[in-house]
Each structure stands twice: as C-alpha cells, then as structure tokens.
C-alpha cells in the first residue's frame, strides 16, 4: 500500500456548552489516509464528521490526540513555518454554496484569497492568470472572474469553492459535504469534477458526506461515524458488501434506489442506539482493512448475525 499522508491518533474535540455540559463532537478517533486515495467519512448530522474535518485543518484546536500530516505534527502549537506548510498543502471545500462565498467579493478575489494571504504571487497579472487557470480546470471561464457569487447557480458556486481550494496546489483536500446542498443532477457534476481533478493532480481527498450512495461511487475507503466515534472503517467493499456494525447496516438500508418495484418490497431496519455504549467498545480488526468498534460479546453476536435489541425491522 502507498504512503500514509495523514495519520490521526486518538483525536478528541470537545465543546463546552456550559458548566455542566460538554459535547464530545469527536471522541477518540484514529485513522490513516493514504496518498492518492479518496477517503470518505459518512454519518448523519451531529455525528461529528464536519468537526473532525475542521479540527484537522485547525479551524478548531483539538483537545487531545495527535495528527501527523506529511511527516509533520500538526496538532498543538505550531511554528509559523509548519502553519504555512499546513495552509498550503491542506485545503478545505465547504458545504453551503451560498454561505461559503463572500457575497461582496468578486470571483477573482475569492479564488485568489489564498494567494494573497500566502503572498505567493508578485504581480496582478500573475494573480489573474493563476485564477483563470484554476477556474478553467473546474469548468468555468475567464468571463466569470469579475462577477459576484449571487449571479451563479448552486453548482457553479460550489465549483468556485473548489477553485479556491485548488489555487494553492494542495496535496490534501477535505471536502465537507460539498454536494448535500445541491440538486441531484448537479451533485453528479461536482462529484465527477472532483474525481477528474483528483486523478489529474494525484490529490488525496477526504470526502465528508451523509449520502452513502455517492460515497460508494467515489471512495476507496470509508469510515462510518456516529456520535463522535468511528464505528466501522474499511474499503468500499468491506463496508457495502460486508457491513458488520448495526449502525452501518441501518444506514445502508435507508438509501433510496431509483427502482420502484424493489423499493416497494424493501425492508428497512431501525437502529436503537440506546442499547449500545461506544465507550466500552474497542477497535476490532476483521481483516487487513476492515475494522469495527465493538466489545468482544457484541462482535461475536454480530458475526453470528444476532442484532436483537439493536436492529428492528420497520
């Protein structure tokens, strides 16, 4: 297997709500991302998947744990040089195509923002050329640079967001729910664009999503997150063909298919999370690539297909 680009060990990100409550958005999460792959994190809202991405790119400061990116430690206090290295090589694309672009800035200035901050370009002309070049790679053209975000459709805006991340030539991109606010037809457009760019530039992509069908289509490996924990992780085949964790199973049973006849017969399962406490579980390896969070008893039961109390037919 290829080189590890990002290694996360026991990352914890807590938020204090008030004196009595602390939300454990990300709770003891460990994983590795290999160079050139597409690694997906799936889970429903509140599972901590977006927080995880933001902690990695240092929008939040993690409470505990260690993250190593391209051989450098990027948790804790960073010196200026490491920070610059991180900002250049790790980029993020955001969820909401409306809110992720500053409505008062032209496309040129939005996309060139990274260049401006890093003082990477010397002349105005060079800045413009860099922006045009990256806009072309996301299917937009030179004519668009002097426009404001509200003139674009959702899909176009999301591509501007992609361009903003790409302009720095990063090695690693975190795509945080980039398609969930888009129409299905446009989702495919953005996904195919991401795949194309990933192939052309040899990028590593961390794809955060709640849509399991798109994830299957795009990813190499998948981590399923629930309540701040990674409950199951493996290759696409591991997760989609041989899911073991009941939460994964319930997620898979909920995906709608464009196939009315089979839909009418499909049985869906309901997941009773009250009957599971993730803090008791350990990461259990099922094979080289496939891990699941469970206690010994749970693992044994699940492997026998016994999900009583946890999964209920709807």
**Interface mask (CB under 8 A) for another protein, residues 25-54, using x and -?**
-------------------xx--------x
What proportions of the chain, in percent to the nearest 5, are helix, strand and coil? 40, 25, 35
Applying CB under 8 A, which of residues 63, 91, 137, 291 lies at the interface with another protein?
A: 91
In sequence order, what DSSP letters do the residues of 10-32 get, joined into one string? EEEEEEE-SSS-EEEEEEEEEEE
For residue 201, count other CB atoms closer than 10 A to its CB.
15
Interaction with another protein in 103-142: which residues (CB under 8 A)? 103-105, 110, 113-114, 117-118, 139-141
Name the minimum Å distance from CB 247 to another protein. 9
Contact indicator for 167, 134 with CB cutoff of 8 Å: yes
Name the minimum Å distance from CB 130 to another protein. 14
Name the minimum Å distance from CB 22 to another protein. 16
Nearer to another protein, 66 or 211 (CB): 211
Alpha helices in 32-178 (DSSP H): 49-56, 80-89, 107-118, 124-137, 154-166
Residue 131: φ, ψ to 5°? -65, -45
Q: Candidates 30-38, 57-65, 126-134, 282-290: pick the segment binding another protein (CB under 8 A).
A: 57-65
Separation CA 277–CA 281 (nearest Å): 7
* Nearest one of 179, 208, 207 to 47, comparing CA atoms: 208
Contacts of 195 (CB under 8 A, 6+ apart): 38, 218
Interaction with another protein in 150-189: which residues (CB under 8 A)? 150-156, 161, 164, 168, 183-189
Name the minimum Å distance from CB 282 to another protein. 25
- Number of residues engaging another protein in binding (CB under 8 A): 82
Interaction with another protein in 231-250: which residues (CB under 8 A)? 236-237, 240, 250
**Interface mask (CB under 8 A) for another protein, residues 252-291, using x and -?**
-xxxxxxxxxxxxxx-x-xx--------------------
Interaction with another protein in 195-214: which residues (CB under 8 A)? 210-214
For residue 122, count other CB atoms closer than 10 A to its CB.
8
């Amino acid at each position: 297997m290829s080189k590890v680009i990002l290694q996360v060990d026991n990352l914890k990100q807590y938020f204090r709500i008030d004196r009595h409550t602390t939300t454990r958005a990300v709770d003891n999460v460990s994983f590795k991302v290999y160079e050139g792959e597409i690694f997906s994190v799936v889970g429903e809202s509140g599972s901590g998947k977006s927080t995880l991405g933001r902690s990695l790119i240092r929008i939040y400061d993690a409470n505990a744990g260690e993250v190593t990116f391209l051989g450098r430690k990027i948790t804790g206090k960073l010196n200026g040089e490491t920070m610059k290295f991180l900002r250049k090589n790790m980029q993020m694309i955001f969820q909401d195509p409306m809110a992720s672009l500053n409505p008062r800035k032209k496309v040129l200035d939005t996309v060139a923002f990274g260049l401006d901050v890093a003082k990477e370009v010397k002349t105005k002309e060079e800045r413009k050329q860099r922006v045009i070049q990256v806009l072309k790679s996301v299917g937009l053209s030179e004519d668009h640079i002097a426009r404001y975000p509200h003139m674009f459709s959702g899909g176009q805006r999301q591509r501007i967001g992609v361009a903003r991340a790409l302009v720095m030539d990063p090695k690693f991109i975190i795509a945080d729910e980039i398609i969930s606010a888009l129409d299905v037809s446009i989702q495919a457009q953005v996904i195919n664009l991401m795949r194309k760019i990933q192939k052309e530039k040899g990028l590593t992509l961390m794809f955060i999503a709640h849509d399991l069908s798109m994830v299957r289509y795009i990813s190499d490996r998948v981590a399923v997150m629930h309540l701040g924990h990674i409950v199951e992780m493996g290759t696409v085949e591991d997760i989609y063909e041989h899911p073991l964790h009941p939460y994964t199973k319930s997620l898979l049973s909920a995906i709608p298919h464009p196939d009315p006849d089979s839909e009418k017969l499909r049985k869906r399962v309901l997941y009773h999370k009250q009957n599971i406490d993730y803090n008791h579980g350990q990461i259990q390896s099922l094979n080289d690539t496939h891990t699941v969070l469970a206690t010994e008893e749970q693992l044994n039961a699940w492997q026998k297909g016994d999900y009583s109390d946890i999964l209920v037919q709807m």
